[in-house]
Amino acid sequence: MAKKKKNKQNPSLHQPVKSVQSKPKVSPGNLKEKGVAKAKKTKFFSSPRPPLISRIMEVGIILVVLGTPLVFSIWSKNNFLLPKEAYAQSILIVLLGIYLIKTVDDKKFHLVKSDLWYPLLAFAAVTTISIVNTVSLYLSLLDFANFVTYFFILFLTINFIRTHTQKNRIFWTLVAVCFISSIYGVFQFYDFDFKFWARQGGRGNIFSTFGNPNRYSGFVAAVIPAMVGYFLTVKGTIKKYILAFVIPLTYTGVMMTFTRGAQLGLAVALFFMLIIALSFFKLSFFKTFYKGIIYLLCVFLVITAIFSTENPINISRHTVAERAVSAVEGEEVSVVQRLMMWEISLLMTKDQPVIGHGIGTFKYHYLWYQGKYFDNPVNEDKLYLAVWAREAHNEYVQILVELGILGFIFWLWLLFAFFRGRYKQCKEERDNPHLLLARLGFSMGALVILVNATVDFPLHLIPNGILLFLLMGLATVVQKDSPM
């Protein structure tokens, strides 16, 4: 009787155990079918609250990302670069102090494991050692401060941006910067501007909050791949509409500047983004995201067509097609001049091949080597191209001149480690299209800047240099939360 009473009170003992079924694999094809209903009822991402130190660092990074591209001063001798450098470095000095206090208090050094630390450390070491070989400590320390700023941004991003929510906030900050600066750039294109600016004429009219069309277009073009990745996968009508407006606006700004380096970088990055996405998702990529892909294709083709011809909307005397043809034919003075600069840079490299002339000293040595170049009778016909070049208009060449073969090798090692590591991460996330396309977008944004660096000098422009290392950090971060 006791046994029967016990069984009656615990009927679950005689019930069969339910088998545990594994969750179905999420892929682009079934993401919408099986995930959307649940996403509407619950938060798409479950983000654990990060520790206080991470939140402080996140706020600091957001302030740098938001303010550095937009800040300028009409009262300083240099209206743009100097205020931007002072603003960004002031905030980062405060963050460094907070980090050091936390390190001393915890009695341990916090460092998240990453495949970028060894090449970054090697490149940073050569950069530091090159100062020993400098002829101007002042010039070297100016550039060294900028490079330390970039290294620290990468360090902070990888170590303290640990959740999707944090990455999300930084991303939308970049979107806000693109919106503000591009709106201003479009107004400038149609001659609506503040009266206190001295008009520069030609393409110089569209400089937004950067002071130069190349700086502006090089920055905002690098954010477009990240916006494309988010646009294809973002949940929420409002966010979708915001990106559907900001992407064409930003792309229009890039086209209006007629900056070939930024346009080439963006074209290369979007091409590789498509190829890599197809390699992972195959045809299901088009089936899942066909609406967004068709919209983006139409936007890019229409805007490119508008600024490739003379029409009432394109009031400039330039066209994208004409600028591209002049670059390919090599007849434009600026193209021939840059080729000459690179020849002179190779002369500089021959004298200090191993550790270079010292960071920041390109501008110091250039005139002397230009004279040496024209001492050769073969080059006398190029005398009209003589100029005092402060930068080589090619970051890879300038690294070779200032940091030597060692610095050049370690720089290539850093880039190789970055792209190889991000490809491996994307491969692991092929069943999660949101994570994969977001990481791919940040990676391809970095590629925009790196391609542009073959004809420009983004590492010597504080907003663009910060953006490069920020995008590398955001693409590298292994977040603790993940999509459902």
Give the pLDDT score at 237. Answer: 87
**How far is the C-alpha of 453 from the C-alpha of 465, rounded, in Å?**
10
Contacts of 37 (CB under 8 A, 6+ apart): none
Higher pLDDT, 104 or 331: 104
In a domain, 38, yes or no: no
Q: What is the DSSP letter of 45?
A: B
pLDDT of residue 395: 97
**For 11, which DSSP code?**
G
CA–CA dist 472, 342 (Å, integer): 27
User: Are the beta carbons of 438 and 161 closer than 8 angstroms?
Assistant: no
Residues spanned by the domain of 105: 52-110+161-319+429-476
**108-122, 134-148, 313-327, 392-406: which range is least confident on average?**
313-327
What b/e readout covers 77-102, taking b as 16+ CB neighbours within 10 angstroms? eebbbebbbebbbebbeebbeebeeb
Of the two residues 456 and 480, the one the predictor is more confident about is 456
Query: 7: which 2 tokens?
Result: 């069984």
- % of the chain surpassing 70 pLDDT: 87
Residue 294 domain-assigned (yes or no): yes
- In which band, very low, low, confident or very high, does the pLDDT at 341 lie, cut at 50, 70 and 90? very high
**Confidence band, pLDDT 50/70/90 cuts, at residue 203:** low
- Residue 364, CB half-sphere, CA atoms under 13 Å: how many? 15
Answer yes or no: is 379 within a domain. Answer: no
- Does 220 have pLDDT greater than 90? yes
pLDDT at 344: 96
Q: Residue 384 domain-assigned? A: no
Q: Where are the alpha helices (DSSP H) in 42-163?
A: 52-70, 81-106, 117-129, 137-160
295 lies in a domain?
yes
State how many domains the chain has: 1
Which is more confidently placed, 208 or 37? 208
Residue 137 belongs to some domain of the structure: no
More confident residue, 211 or 78: 211
Distance, CA of 209 to CA of 465 (rounded, Å): 16
| Distance (Å) of CA 160 to CA 172, 368, 380, 479 | 18, 46, 55, 10
* pLDDT at residue 313 tops 90: yes
What is the Cα–Cα distance from 418 to 119, expressed in whole angstroms? Answer: 9
Q: What is the pLDDT of residue 481?
A: 59
In a domain, 448, yes or no: yes
User: Which tens digits make up the pLDDT trace of 221-254?
Assistant: 999 999 999 999 998 789 999 999 999 999 999 9
Gap between the Cα atoms of 326 and 348, Å rounded:
29
Instruction: Look at residue 467 and tell me if it is in a domain.
Output: yes
Q: Tens digit of pLDDT for each residue in 52-88?
A: 999 999 999 999 999 999 999 888 778 899 999 999 9
Pick the most confident of 43-52, 92-101, 428-437.
92-101
Q: How far apart are CA 349 and CA 357, in angstroms?
A: 8
